[in-house]
Amino acid sequence: MKLGLGLYRHMLTPENFAFAKQAGATHIVAHLVDYFRGGSHVGPDDQPTGTDWGWGLAGDPGSLWTADELKGVRRSVEDAGLKLEAIENFDPAHWHDVLLDGPMRTLHIENVKTIIRRVGEAGIPIIHGVLLLQNESQAKERCLGGESNRGSETARAAIEALRASVSIPTSLT
């Protein structure tokens, strides 16, 4: 099993990498979307709650992540003795019309293909993307129906991971 820590772009710092290692993480999942680009939200927090300001803008629609940029992120993580295991999601500015069937759909499909190639070229093994659904009933079927429940599966996996390192009463599972 791998223990990783997810970090937003502004959190990809030596201090946070040291914290990840102290916490026992061996891998990093980087969320490169910079929702605070060009906004007035300033502060050390990464969860702007309590206001109606929201998450802000997504990335620059005219600038895709480059292979060199991705390699730089990977190297900074590796220099700290960790592994960059995944990029968390694509930037909505680069692909939203794929989801929305909008006027830039063809361009955005090419954007996604380009980003996938660049992530591979950078030696990053995983891109964690958004699950696309047709409707609410499909969403419920995928997460609640059938023989799997992603929430319960995730909770069980987290408890098993913790149980491997500390004593957790069986009654909590």
In whole angstroms, what is the distance from residue 5 CA to residue 26 CA?
8
Contact 10, 56 (CB under 8 A): no
Up-side HSE of residue 73: CA atoms within 13 Å toward CB?
27
Delineate the domains of the chain, giving CATH numbers in brackets: 4-132 (3.20.20.150), 133-173 (no CATH)
pLDDT, averaged across the chain? 77
Q: Which of 87-91, 114-118, 127-131, 146-150 has the lowest mean pLDDT?
A: 146-150
* pLDDT (0 to 100) of residue 61: 82
89 band by pLDDT with thresholds 50, 70 and 90 = confident
- Pairwise CA distance, residues 48 & 59, whole Å: 17
Instruction: Determine the pLDDT at residue 131.
Output: 47
Reported as a pLDDT band with limits 50, 70 and 90, residue 33 is confident
Give the global pTM: 0.67
> Is the four-CA dihedral 138, 89, 77, 56 of positive or negative sign?
negative
Please give the helix or strand (H or E) that residue 28 lies within, else none: strand 27-31
Which of 60, 35, 32, 58 lies closest to 46, judged by CA?
Answer: 35
* Of residues 54, 55, 51, 59, the one with CA closest to residue 87: 59
Confidence label for 1 from pLDDT (cuts 50, 70 and 90): confident
Contacts 24+ apart (CB under 8 A), 61-70: 61/93, 61/94, 64/94, 64/111, 64/114, 64/115, 64/118, 65/32, 65/91, 65/115, 65/118, 65/119, 66/118, 67/118, 67/121, 67/122, 70/118, 70/119, 70/121, 70/122, 70/124
128 residue type, one letter: H
pLDDT of residue 9: 87
